[in-house]
Structure formats: C-alpha cells, structure tokens
Copies of this chain bind each other. A is one copy, B any other.
Amino acid sequence: MTDRNIHVQPESGLAVEDQEVEIVERKGIGHPDSICDGVAESVSRRLATAYIDRVGKVLHYNTDETQLVAGTAAPAYGGGEVLEPIYLLIVGRATKTYEGTRIPAERLALEAAREYLDEQFPHLDIGSDIIVDVQLGEGSGDLQTVFGEEAAVPMANDTSYGVGHAPLSETEQIVYNTERRLTGEYAAENPVVGEDVKVMGKREGDHIDVTVAVAMVDEHVADLSAYKDAVANVRAYVADLATEYTDREVSVHVNTADDYDEESIYLTTTGTSAEQGDDGSVGRGNRANGLITPNRPMSMEATSGKNPVNHIGKIYNLLSTSIAESVVDEVDGIRQLQVRLLSQIGSPIDDPHVADAMLVTEDGVAVGDIEDEVRAAVDEELADVTDITRQVIEGETATF
C-alpha cells in the first residue's frame, strides 16, 4: 500500500437512481459542439504523435478552442445543397520549433481535422461545404513537457480536479447508447440518419422519457411520407434498444419540433445542424464520459484538445472515470461510485492532493466491508496514471 491520500466514504446523498428526477443528455458526434470536440481531439492526437516521432517527446501544446460558425443550406427531398459553407477555426497553442527541429503544427492540424471530418461525416464535402482554418500561436517557450522519452510521471502544473463515476445509471446507459448505436450500427443500415443526433433523457420516478433529435439526410428522403417513416423507424429502434438497459417504462419522442402541416421538418443535406444556423465550440457539450449529467458533480474543464501529458484537468477527468469503472468491475457490492481527484501543484500527478471515493453500496454491504478493497483498487489505478496519456494519444479513449 502506498501513502497516497485516498478517502473512501459513503455518499452523503441519495444514489442518482433513487433520486426523483434525473436528467441526462448526450450531444451526438455530429452536433456542432461535438464536431469541435472531435476536431480538437484529433488535432491533439496528431500533434502528440508528431512530437514523439520527431523529437522523441510531447512538447507543449493545447488545441482546445475550435470554433464552428454555422453555414446556410437548402435541404430538399432527394438531395439539397449547402449554400454558404460552415467555417471552422482551429485555435490553440503549439510548439513549432524545438532544438532546431521545426514542427509543422498548423499543417498537421489541418490534415488531422480534414481526415477526421472525412471519416466521420460522409455527407460533408470538406473544402466546399466546410472551410477549415487554423490559428496556432506559440505559447510560453519554457513549457516543454516530457513524455515518451522517459518514464517519469509529470508534475501537476495547476490546481485542478477531475470527477468521474460508475456504473452509468439506466437513463445514462440509454442516452449514451441511443446516440452511439443510432449513428453507428443503425446509420450503417439506414443512411437517412445523419451524424447530428441529440438525446435527452428525463426520468421521473420510474418513467423515462427519451427525446431524440435526428438530423435526417435529405438525399435519402424522397418525400414527407418517407420522412415520417424514417422518424417512426428511429422511434421503434430506440424503444427497443431501451429495453436492453431498463425495465422501467420508457417513452420515446423523435424530432418533436417538427410541424408536418407546415412541412417544417428536421431535414439536412449534410447530416448536421451546423449547415444551418447552429454554431459550436469545444467544451460546451458532453463531459469527458460522453454525457451531461446535472444530477452529478461535473467539471467545467474542456477535455478535448487538451495536452494529455500535462493538462491535469484532462487527465484527472478521464482518470477518475476510468478508476470508477475499474473499481466497480473489481469490487463487488457497489451500487454507485463517484471518484474525485484534486491535484497539488508541484507534486507528481500520480499523487493527488486528495482522491475521494464516494460510495453507495448494495443492500447488505457496508462501506466498511469493502473500503480497503476500494482504496487498494484506486491506488493501483493511480499508479498507472501515465497509461491514460498513452491511451489518449493512441485514440483508445473518447473525450466527449
């Protein structure tokens, strides 16, 4: 056992599953805020990799400020068109010269963004439906960080905290998987479903309302009747999906803002509302675990685009979630676990100022019964902190 400052204690309030009202939201991959998150994180991974390849370690950078300015489009049954392009400005800091080696940070950022968009947004014509611009300044020169070269654990350079939990509540599972599966397996079979899928879950007592807004792709919608079919199909799919995660009663609502009489429907050319009037930016949407959960403590920190070597907020948000998941996996008897990590400037990041584990145990299990086990599991995960950095750089960990 190490001497890490790990507190294990009972959660003072109700488990989220026991609270009367629970609200959960997920902005899908094609939501304007998520587009920014995705681009920012792709750019970050590309830069980290390039630094390791070229100078053997990750240098100072942060690319967590992408801004999307919406375009204008004229969707139409059978296929419309973008009128004025979306404008995406990648903003951040990057080291461009290191001991004589020049790193093409801006070009790499553009490449990463383009590849990400190309891969994720098949209906978006990169370069004409969307303009990608970049402004990467150089930060303070002395902030050079070391990763890859040596095994050293970095020092925290800020007072920051991260918070995560496990397991997901039923509502959380439904919300998360609705988006993931709609834009994944379902869209693969049903190309009418665009990437901009927003899911809001609201549980009151034992009734869950799942409200889904799906940007339908006009190319695959012949007319209003086809649109209605598409909506009905999504509704049925989600209703079915929900039963995998809950026995509670679930109502599914799809594209509720539609007005069929006015033929005002959620039709898009590109699969995202960014084509018409919805701006976006990094860190305004999902938290690091992919959800917005007002019933739980959340960090305001944007995770996407941050440097995974030394940005303590990013690391601790991802790590606290990862720890919570591992502990719940390893230790029996936990109904709900929340992990909070608080950094200490100047100390190694594997030695947080405080690591809090707040437990709700299953019936018949006391916190005291599993406290040591939990502490040991947290301790083990902390010891492996730099693995989070590696996972992020290699794209194994989602950040939004």
Q: Residue A189 at the B interface, CB < 8 A?
A: no
Partner of A281, one of B20, B127, B282: B282
Q: Residue A55 at the B interface, CB < 8 A?
A: no
A264 touches B107 (CB 8 A): no
Binding-face segment, A78-86, A361-369, A377-385? A78-86
A298 touches B302 (CB 8 A): no
Q: Report the Cα distance A128→B113, complex, angstroms.
A: 9
Q: Residue A133 at the B interface, CB < 8 A?
A: yes
A23 touches B91 (CB 8 A): no
Q: Report the Cα distance A137→B72, complex, angstroms.
A: 8
A161 touches B13 (CB 8 A): no
Partner of A21, one of B103, B107, B292, B342: B342
Question: Which B residues touch A91, using CB under 8 A?
Answer: 67, 69, 279
Question: Which B residues touch A356, using CB under 8 A?
Answer: 21
B83 touches A102 (CB 8 A): yes
Question: Which B residues touch A299, using CB under 8 A?
Answer: 294
Count of residues in A whose CB is under 8 Å from the partner chain: 89
Question: Which B residues touch A279, using CB under 8 A?
Answer: 62, 64-65, 91-93
B128 touches A114 (CB 8 A): yes
Known contacts being A85-B134, A93-B279, is A159 close to B300, with CB within 8 Å? no
Q: Residue A395 at the B interface, CB < 8 A?
A: no
Q: Residue A225 at the B interface, CB < 8 A?
A: no
A267-326 residues with Cβ-Cβ distance < 8 A to B are: 276-277, 279-285, 287, 292, 294-300, 302
B19 touches A161 (CB 8 A): no
A96 touches B83 (CB 8 A): yes
Question: Which B residues touch A345, using CB under 8 A?
Answer: 256-257
Q: Report the Cα distance A249→B264, complex, angstroms.
A: 61
Output the residue of A7, A106, A126 with the most chain B CB within 10 A: A106
Output the residue of A72, A84, A257 with the most chain B CB within 10 A: A84
Question: Which B residues touch A131, using CB under 8 A?
Answer: 110, 131-134
- Knowing that A114-B128, A127-B132 touch, tell me 18 more A-B residue pairs with CB under 8 angstroms: A12-B19, A13-B13, A65-B281, A67-B67, A69-B91, A69-B135, A69-B137, A70-B137, A72-B138, A81-B107, A83-B102, A83-B105, A84-B104, A89-B89, A281-B282, A283-B283, A287-B300, A294-B299
Closest 7 CB pairs of A and B: A13-B13, A12-B13, A67-B67, A110-B128, A139-B277, A12-B14, A83-B104
